[in-house]
Amino acid sequence: MRLLKYKWPKTAIDAVIIDESETVVLIKRRNPPYQNHWALPGGFIELGEKVEDAVLREAKEETGLDIKILKLVGVYSDPNRDPRGHVISITYLCKRSDPAENPRGGDDAKEAKVFNRGDLEKIQLAFDHKIIIQDALRLADQEKLW
């Protein structure tokens, strides 16, 4: 019997954390790729972990924030979206559990910061996060989540 060797894409999650004042939480990446670029909080899903648990965990590790999931934004699967290889991102629209709590960088994040919606166009973002944020903000507008 001949065994086949399969290669699978890695699976990650990203959180678009918004609030009523039309702000988005971003992190500054500590490590390559895109070191020192702004990005959405997120990371790889651990074996045996539900994607919803992964997004809560990664947001807490990278921003110090507890979050609530509002909606699924989408699944981003372009094989070229990550220079490390084929990585699929499952992305959620989220909000802070405590809107008064300020983000702080931790784990893979050098820094975490709240950006006004209008300032997002001026920021150089990692990966395909500009597209993801645009999709998330469109969803937030349609669902009147602001």
pLDDT at position 56: 98
Q: Is the pLDDT of residue 1 over 90?
A: no
Cβ contacts of 72-80, under 8 Å, gap ≥ 24: 73/16, 73/132, 73/135, 73/136, 73/139, 74/132, 74/135, 76/128, 76/131, 76/132, 77/9, 78/128, 79/9
Domain-embedded: residue 2: no
Active-site annotation holds for 20: no
Full domain range(s) for residue 119: 10-142
Q: Is the pLDDT of residue 4 over 70?
A: no
In the numeric block, the tokens 């009523």 are attached to: 20
Q: Domain total for the chain?
A: 1
- Dihedral sign computed on CA atoms, order 72, 126, 103, 22: negative
pLDDT at position 7: 81
pLDDT tens-digit map of 107-138: 889 999 999 999 998 999 999 999 999 999 99
pLDDT tens-digit map of 13-53: 999 999 988 999 999 999 999 999 999 999 999 999 999 99
* Side-chain-side CA neighbours of residue 65 (13 Å): 34
Domain-embedded: residue 5: no
Question: Of 20, 49, 62, 111, which is the active-site residue?
Answer: 111
Domain-embedded: residue 3: no
pLDDT tens-digit map of 59-115: 999 999 999 999 999 999 999 999 999 999 999 999 999 999 999 999 889 999 999
pLDDT at position 146: 72
CATH number assigned to the domain comprising residue 87: 3.90.79.10
Q: Is the pLDDT of residue 141 over 80?
A: yes
Domain-embedded: residue 71: yes
- Give the global pTM: 0.93
Residues in the chain: 146
Domain-embedded: residue 1: no
Domain-embedded: residue 51: yes
Domain-embedded: residue 52: yes
Cα separation, 105 vs 89, whole angstroms: 21
Domain-embedded: residue 4: no
